[in-house]
Every structure is written in structure tokens, then in C-alpha cells.
Amino acid sequence: MKIKTVDLFCGVGGLTYGLQKAGIPVVAGIDIDKSCEYAYEHNNKCQFIAKSVDEVTGKEIKEFLKGADIKILVGCAPCQPFSNHQKDKKNRDKHKDWKLLYEFARLVRETRPHIVSMENVPELAKEKVFSDFIFILKAEGYFVSYKVVNVADYGVPQRRKRLILLASRIKKIELMDATHNQYVTVREAIGNLPPVAAGEKNETDMLHIACTLSELNLKRIRHSTPGGTWRDWPEELICECHKKEKGSSYASVYGRMRWNDLSPTITTQYIGYGTGRFGHPEQDRALTIREGAILQSFPATYAFVSESDEIFLRNIARHVGNAVPPRLGEIIGLSIQQHIKKRKYTRRKNDG
């Protein structure tokens, strides 16, 4: 059967890449951030539409899905309004991106794809916009399931909890069970990469590049042990803010990762030594762009910029941190494949 998928809020293509690896063809990705276009199209060989989802019409989506036996709409609406890192938690619904999940629901109504998948932060499940999203899907005749998973259970070398929703107009659909009872470690993921110093890059991979560290931060990281905290440092190296009661609880910042453990959640700021436990287990620096991407389960060859482009580290780090881990995308794709195969089996059985 011919399958076509459109990926809303596609970014640099983590979800698209994973779906296609699972055999779910994607014909187009839509995202307002045009700086994602090269990475999306180059790695996934499908069309990038630089447009805000609230400006996209059902007619446009239908055109992309035209001729398919199975039509799929997927996406990860921006998670910033729902994240625990959102500073103004009392006014989450005032965030500019809050309404985008409603726009996702609108496009489901207007296009009525056979299958829908939505990925986001676990905190979304507590919000009215999520219950409204489910209500709309059910009103349109969809079977809906969702659960919070740790992506490490599916082979991503990272602690990262995500909310995964699957819906189908065909029959019940669920995310497949965990595939890994033994986690992929930091060492297994990035231990074979060549060493680089802070402020330097590898000659053969322009994205294996680490940010420069100040002399003070170089002293700090040299006193840091894998899995330790800034409390291990000499008194004169501790930040003034951490000496205060309010700052004393932020023990993981300026930390080193451990080789034989998972990485922490790769955020949009993972290239900064002081923004989390993003210190390399051995080398005196924070993670490189490439290391963070691999810990997100992107292949080591994934091109985020062309060879002629200027490299803006923070911009690429933002793209990597915001991405759906490709391996999780693959799991979603495999779950959809299982669902489709069960449907075909039921059809043959009923026809007989």
C-alpha cells in the first residue's frame, strides 16, 4: 500500500529521518524556521516548506498526501510553553506557541489522515490544550493512545522523557514496548570520536567542534569529576550564586558526564559547560556539536549545514536540542508499521 506522511514542526528532520528509516515515507516537512531547510532536505530527500503551521491549510496538506492509501500526519509542536523550564508557569497559555497544538488539531480535522502522531514534553498531559486535542481526535472518529516514555528504553543514549500520542481511524494503535533492557552508554555513543580541545575543531568533521572556555572555567572543569558537582571544587572556584540558598540546589551545572551512564537530556544549550552536566567525561571541555547530535541519536554523518555555510554553533545546538531523537522517530514508525500490518491481516481474514 502507498503511504505518504507530512511532518509538521519538522525542524532539521529528526522525526522524519526516523520514520523513513522505519519504512514510513515522508513527502514534506513544514517549519517556520527556514534555517532548518538545508539539513531537512539534504538528509531526508523530501521537501521543506518554510511556513508557520497556523498559516497552512488543509488543502495544502491534502495535496501532499494525494494518491496515498495510508495518509499520515505527524508533528512535535514547540514544547517551550509546556516545559518545566518555562519561567512564567502561571501564564503558560499566554506563550506565543501555545495555540499551535490547536492548529495541529485543525489540520487533522481538515485533512482527516488515517494516522496521527504527536510528540511533546510530559508536562503537556496536564494542560487543557492536550485534553482538547484528544477530544477533537475522538470526535473525528480516532482511536487514541498516549504514554510517557524514557527514550533510553528505546536505545537513545540519553535520559529524556517524552509524551507520545498515536491515533488511528482504522483501529486501536499503541506505541511498541521498550526495545532495550540495557541502556546505550555515553562511551558506546561517543567514546570513539577523536579528541578535541576547547575552542578547537576536528579536521575531518567541521561539526566536531567545542566552544572556548575561559581560564576560570578551565580551572573548574579540571577540578570536576565524572558524575560529581561544583561542590567538589576549591572554594575560590565556586560561583557566588551557588553559595546562596537559592542557587545551591543547581548541583548538575558545570558537571562532567560519566562514560558508563546515559547522558543528561540534550537541551538547546548543551555546548555550554555551565548550562548543565555537559562536560566531557575526560577532556576539559563541553560537548561538541557532533557529540550532542549523536547522543540525540542522529547518525554521525548527519549534515546540519552545507560545507560552504558559516557555522553558528548556538544555532545548530538549538536545532539539535529541539529535535525529536531520530531513534524515537523510528520507534514511532515501527509502531505504525505494526498497526498497518495488523490491519492488512484483519482485512484478509474478513475477506476470507
CATH number of the domain bearing residue 42: 3.40.50.150
Q: Is residue 37 part of a domain?
A: yes
Return d(Cα 111, Cα 140) in angstroms, integer. 11
Looking at residue 240, its pLDDT comes to 79
Q: Is residue 254 part of a domain?
A: no
- Binned at pLDDT 50, 70 and 90, residue 61 comes out as very high
Looking at residue 320, its pLDDT comes to 98
Looking at residue 238, its pLDDT comes to 83
- How large is the average pLDDT for residues 94-104? 76
Specify the DSSP element, H or E, that contains 110.
helix 100-111
Active-site hit among 46, 76, 79, 211? 79
Q: Is the pLDDT of residue 62 over 70?
A: yes
| Average pLDDT for the chain | 91
Are residues 251 and 229 in contact, defined by beta-carbon separation less than 8 angstroms? yes
Q: Is residue 260 part of a domain?
A: no
Strands 47-50 and 28-31: parallel
Q: Is residue 106 part of a domain?
A: yes
Q: What is the pLDDT of residues 233-279, one digit of tens each?
A: 888 888 877 777 665 666 778 999 999 999 999 999 999 999 999 99
Looking at residue 251, its pLDDT comes to 73
* pTM greater than 0.95 (yes/no): no
Q: Is residue 241 part of a domain?
A: no
79 catalytic? Reply is yes
The answer to which of 53-62, 71-80, 145-154 has the lowest mean pLDDT is 71-80
- Quote the DSSP letter at residue 292: H
For the purposes of burial, counting CB atoms within 10 Å of the CB of 348, is it exposed (0-12), middle (13-18) or buried (19 or more)? exposed
User: How is residue 214 written as a grid cell?
Assistant: 575561559
Please give the distance of CA 303 from its chain centroid, rounded to a whole number: 16
Q: Is residue 284 part of a domain?
A: no
**Count of domains in the chain?**
1
What is the dihedral sign for C-alpha 89, 92, 96, 100? positive
Please give the distance of CA 214 from its chain centroid, rounded to a whole number: 30
Q: Is the pLDDT of residue 90 over 80?
A: no
Its domain, for residue 79, covers 3-183+326-351
Q: Is residue 257 part of a domain?
A: no
Q: Is residue 268 part of a domain?
A: no
Angle at 262 between CA 206 and CA 179, to 5 degrees: 105
- How large is the average pLDDT for residues 64-85? 81
Are residues 7 and 329 in contact, defined by beta-carbon separation less than 8 angstroms? no
